[in-house]
Amino acid sequence: MSDEDIEEKIGPTMEKIESSEKGIFEIVKKVRKLQSEAKILKEKRDRLNNQCKTIADEARGFREKRDELNNQITELKKEREVHNKLAKEKSGEIEGKKKERDRLNESARGTDKRLQKLYEKNVKKILEKDLPLDDEKKLFKSIFELDARINDAKKADELHTEVVGKYNDLKTIDTKVDELSGKIREIANKSEEHHLEAVKRYEQLDKLSGEADEHHEALIKKYGEINELRKNIDAIKEDISKLREDIAPYTSELESIEKSRRELDLKKKADEAKGKLREGKRLSFDDFKSLLEGDEDFLSDDESQEDAAKADSQQSA
């Protein structure tokens, strides 16, 4: 079978192979384009994830500081509750002593100083005047009553002093409670600030996480498309391999024909070069190369060695 027949025989198959190889080339271009797009998506996703990590750390810091402040508030509230309880106890004591003081004041019906003057006045009457028995009895009764009232007035004054002291204690406690309440409000404001900052960070985190997830999903989709294209390439390569197997006997025969043709061509050029050499004509480099490649006996027999020496001397010249 001639080479023309072989080429005609395998022509359609070679066209299929060439078309398939072009198809692979086009698919490879698509793969590279998708890989470039996937790289951009991956970089964006990774950048967003890094931002998310930074923001999450910031949010955690604000939240931990908020919790720390809230713990301080809890402790201050406990301390304030202790003082409120103490203030309540003091208020109860004050109310009790005030009631007793008011009862004694009501019983005394006068101040200690005024009652003392009446007492001394009545005693002086008994001592200095000669009174009728009934008047004297009335006066003694008045003196005893005044003595009891004086004692009640003195006790009322003592209780009043205690009430004033406890009011001062209560005022100190109330001042401490107000101070603690002020600290609680101040810390609560700071806690609220940290809470709002944490919420703000978490809102940013949700937004960026959503964007990162979108890029990740798009990236996975790109990888899926790339894998599908690679499967297509593998399938086409397998088809090409089968086509090459189908025409292998023909291509082998064609290669053999082409090899024989090249050998004949080289032999022809070598003979032409040898003819030039024998005629004493100058050989070109291509002529010399043709002798070496196209005549296996060029350097083996004596005549050929003589021709080779001539050719070599020409090349040297």
Q: Could you tell me the domains of the chain?
A: 3-110+145-247 (1.10.287.2610), 255-316 (no CATH)
> Dihedral of CA 254/258/264/267: which sign?
negative
The confidence score (pLDDT) of residue 246 equals 80
Cα 256 to Cα 237: distance, rounded to the nearest angstrom: 26
Structure tokens at 136: 């004297």
Cα 125 to Cα 133: distance, rounded to the nearest angstrom: 13
Cα 70 to Cα 187: distance, rounded to the nearest angstrom: 8
Secondary element (H or E) of residue 66: helix 3-108
- Read off the pTM: 0.59
Cα 98 to Cα 90: distance, rounded to the nearest angstrom: 12
Beta-carbon count within 10 A of 262 CB: 12
Q: Contact, 66 vs 195, CB < 8 A?
A: yes
Q: Contact, 156 vs 104, CB < 8 A?
A: yes
For each successive 10 residues of the chain (317 residues), what is the average pLDDT?
Answer: 68 87 95 96 97 96 97 97 95 93 89 87 81 81 88 92 94 96 97 97 96 97 97 94 83 77 79 79 77 61 47 49
Q: Contact, 288 vs 310, CB < 8 A?
A: no
